[in-house]
Amino acid sequence: MTTIQFRYSILLACILCCSSCKKFLAIPPPETQLESLTLFSNSSAAVSAAMGLYSQMMQSSLSVSNGAATLYPALSADELYNTAANADYDAFRSNNIQFASSTGLTRLWTFSYRNIYHANAVMEGLNASASIPDSLKKQLRGEMLVVRGFHYLCLLRLFGDVPLITSTSYSINQSMPRTATTEVYNQVETDLKEAYNLLGFAYTAGARTRPDHFTAAALLARLCIYRQNWPLAAQYASEVISSNRYALNPVLNNVFLSASNETIWQLSPVSTTVNTAEGNLFIPSSATTRPVMALTSWLLDAFEPGDQRKTSWLKTNTVGGQPYAYPYKYKVRTGAPPYSEMYVVIRLAELYLIRAEANLQLNNLTAAAADINAIRNRAGLPNTAYTTQPALLTALMQERRIELMFEWGHRWSDLKRTGTADAVLQTIKAPGWQPADTLYPIQQYELDTNPFLIQNPGY
């Protein structure tokens, strides 16, 4: 090889090296993840995207959809108290929430919006997809609308006006101010009504672990009593009750079993060791251990004599001579799959109480009394003795208080929506109680990162 050839061959090698730059940089997407466009061109992947939301809802113990929406309002109201000092629980129990940083607020707020984003992302993916069959699109969209609506119902009841997020665009969402409660309710109503029309009448996966048409109807009924739309509340509740798909479980101990026919929608646990986060938190490890949460004397005193719910849904441990009654609706503390208990989101008993309340407000007293009695009789109590509208209303709220105790914060919401929170809590929760405590504060981080968010009054 002459020197000239040698030099040219080197130059050629250099040129070859420098070509095809763009190709070298075009790398495939990561093997273990799916690009949105690819995902929503495949039906089973799209189903997985929706299933992922349920899995996420049950992934973190005591996130909003897995215990927090029960626990914190129960502490803030008059249902439960924590038996040992705990800064997070103490703050909610004493209605003195430090919004600078609060585990409870993170569990309620952050996880709600994480799930809402997920639902929005699935819906946007479905909208953009050309290859997923319409029937599946409708089904999944309906389910996502139910989940989104459900989360907004939780948020509204805890925080008042909240930002209404209906897309995945962070550039829009990051500066979204609070939306008026009415407007959020309107959105929830629209969502649930759409889902009501989109969703089929059969459970997609046997165990009622995904919402269907009647789930939408049941949540619409719940929404309607919050909006005091009594006729519609009665209508939706009736539809569910008279569908004959569900029945009040005659055995109180079986109401929360995963096979219970009373359940309208339940979330399947995903943990390999725990069924429900509530069962795991509330039930102490042994008969001699002090439970973490115990019933307040106010709730214990509210039971009528002979109420079987006091024996079926409560249990007592005596530690150091002091009895501690603890929630025992869920009876499984630990357990591997198959799960004997799942996390019930909405069940038929609530629908009876909703219809009763609607009928009372509409002055259909007999029908209302019948529904109240259905619940009372199941609990081993006689028919209600009251006949007048105000008396029956009081009886109804009492029934809600016991039947739905430490379940999704119903007591806390009922006190607020009936305007009785102040009257009830002022005396028993003194001196910490202030009227403004009915709404939880927004965490400092959220206020800092979104200057358009305004703190709730009183914080």
Partner 1 sequence: MKQLILCLALLYPILTSCQPITIKGSVINEEGTPLAGATISIKQSGKSTLADSKGNFTITNTRLNDTLIVTAIGYQTATVPNNERGLISITLRRKITQLDETIIIAYGTTTKRFNTGSITKITTAEISNQPVSNPLATLHGRVPGLLVTQSSGVTGSAVSIQLRGQSSLDPLLSRNDPLFIIDGVPFESGNIPSNQLSSAAVNPYQVAGTSPGGLSPLSSINPADIESIEVLKDADATAIYGSRGANGVILITTRKGKAGKAKLTLNISNGFSRPSSSMPMLNTAQYLLMRREAFANDGLLPNTSNAPDLLLWDTSRYTNLQKLLTGNTARTTNWQASLSAGSPGTQFLLGMAYFNQTNVFPGSQPYQRYSSHINLRHKPASARWDLQFSAIFSADDNKLLRTDLSKYFGLPPNIKLTGPGGELVWQEAGISYSSLGFFNPLAELLQPYEARNNNLSASLVLGIRISKNWNLRVSTGYNNLTTNEKSTQPKASLAPENTTLASSQLATALRSNWMAEPQLEYNGAFAKGKLQMLLGAAFQQRQEQLTSIQATGYSNDLLLNALSAAAAVTASNNSEQYNYQAVFARLNYNFGSKYILNLSGRRDGSSRFGPARRFANFAAAGAAWILSEETFFKNSLPFISFAKLRASYGVTGNDQLGNYRYLDLWLSTTNPYTAVPGLRPSSLFNPYLEWEKNNKFETALELSFCGNRIMFSPAFYIHRSSNQLISYRLPNQTGFASVTKNLPALVQNKGWEFQLTATALETKNWSWKLSANATLPSNKLLSFPGLETSSYNAIYTIGQSLSVIRKMKYTGIDPATGLYTYEDYNKDGSISTPGDLQVLGNLDPVCYGGISSGLQYSGWSVDIFFDYNIQKGTNYLAYQYLNPAGFMYNQPLLVMNRWQQPGKQSAVQRFGATAASPVFTASSRLLASDAIYSDASFIRFKNLALGYDLPASVLAKGKISSCRFYIQAQNIYTFTRYKGTDPETKSFYQLPTLRTVLAGIQLTF
> What residues from 151 to 180 belong to the interface with partner 1 (CB under 8 A)?
163, 165, 168, 170, 173-176
247 binds partner 1 per the rule CB under 8 A: no
Q: Which is nearer to partner 1, 17 or 202 (CB)?
A: 17
370 binds partner 1 per the rule CB under 8 A: no
- Of the residues 139, 209, 312, 438, which one makes contact with partner 1 according to CB under 8 A: 209
259 binds partner 1 per the rule CB under 8 A: no
Q: Which is nearer to partner 1, 81 or 412 (CB)?
A: 81
| Bridge partner residues of 341 (DSSP) | 257
3 binds partner 1 per the rule CB under 8 A: yes
Q: Which is nearer to partner 1, 274 or 353 (CB)?
A: 274
- The number of residues in the chain equals 459
Near partner 1 in 419-448, by CB under 8 A: 432, 444-448
258 binds partner 1 per the rule CB under 8 A: no
Distances (CA, A) of 331 to 61, 255, 341, 342, 377: 17, 11, 8, 11, 22
Q: What burial class does residue 352 get, using C-beta atoms within 10 Å of its C-beta: 0-12 exposed, 13-18 middle, 19+ buried?
A: buried
- Binding window for partner 1 (CB under 8 A); candidates: 248-256, 287-295, 360-368, 413-421: 287-295
- Binding window for partner 1 (CB under 8 A); candidates: 194-202, 267-275, 372-380, 400-408: 267-275
Please state the closest distance from residue 423 (CB atom) to partner 1, in A: 22
Q: Count residues contacting partner 1 (CB under 8 A)?
A: 100
- Of the residues 41, 43, 117, 456, which one makes contact with partner 1 according to CB under 8 A: 117
Q: How far apart are CA 450 and CA 392, in angstroms?
A: 46
315 binds partner 1 per the rule CB under 8 A: no
26 binds partner 1 per the rule CB under 8 A: yes
- Is-contact 246 239, C-beta < 8 A? no
Q: How far apart are CA 368 and CA 134, in angstroms?
A: 41
| Bridge partner residues of 327 (DSSP) | 314
Q: How far apart are CA 373 and CA 382, in angstroms?
A: 7
Q: What burial class does residue 266 get, using C-beta atoms within 10 Å of its C-beta: 0-12 exposed, 13-18 middle, 19+ buried?
A: buried
Please state the closest distance from residue 144 (CB atom) to partner 1, in A: 13
- Of the residues 71, 77, 80, 91, which one makes contact with partner 1 according to CB under 8 A: 91
| Bridge partner residues of 257 (DSSP) | 341
- Binding window for partner 1 (CB under 8 A); candidates: 205-213, 304-312, 371-379, 408-416: 205-213
Amino acid at 218: A
Please state the closest distance from residue 411 (CB atom) to partner 1, in A: 22
| Bridge partner residues of 344 (DSSP) | 266
301 binds partner 1 per the rule CB under 8 A: no
Please state the closest distance from residue 86 (CB atom) to partner 1, in A: 6
Q: How far apart are CA 213 and CA 143, in angstroms?
A: 9
H or E segment and range at residue 12 = helix 3-18
Distances (CA, A) of 280 to 66, 69, 194, 292, 312: 11, 15, 36, 10, 17
Q: How far apart are CA 388 and CA 52, in angstroms?
A: 49
33 binds partner 1 per the rule CB under 8 A: yes
Q: Which is nearer to partner 1, 150 or 230 (CB)?
A: 150
266 binds partner 1 per the rule CB under 8 A: no
- Is-contact 153 107, C-beta < 8 A? no
Token pair of 385 as six digits: 């003795």
Please state the closest distance from residue 28 (CB atom) to partner 1, in A: 8
Q: Which is nearer to partner 1, 59 or 254 (CB)?
A: 59
- Of the residues 41, 43, 45, 386, which one makes contact with partner 1 according to CB under 8 A: 45
Please state the closest distance from residue 26 (CB atom) to partner 1, in A: 7
- Is-contact 167 120, C-beta < 8 A? yes
Q: Which is nearer to partner 1, 290 or 315 (CB)?
A: 290
- Of the residues 1, 2, 5, 30, which one makes contact with partner 1 according to CB under 8 A: 30
> What φ, ψ does residue 315 adopt, rounded to 5°?
-145, 155
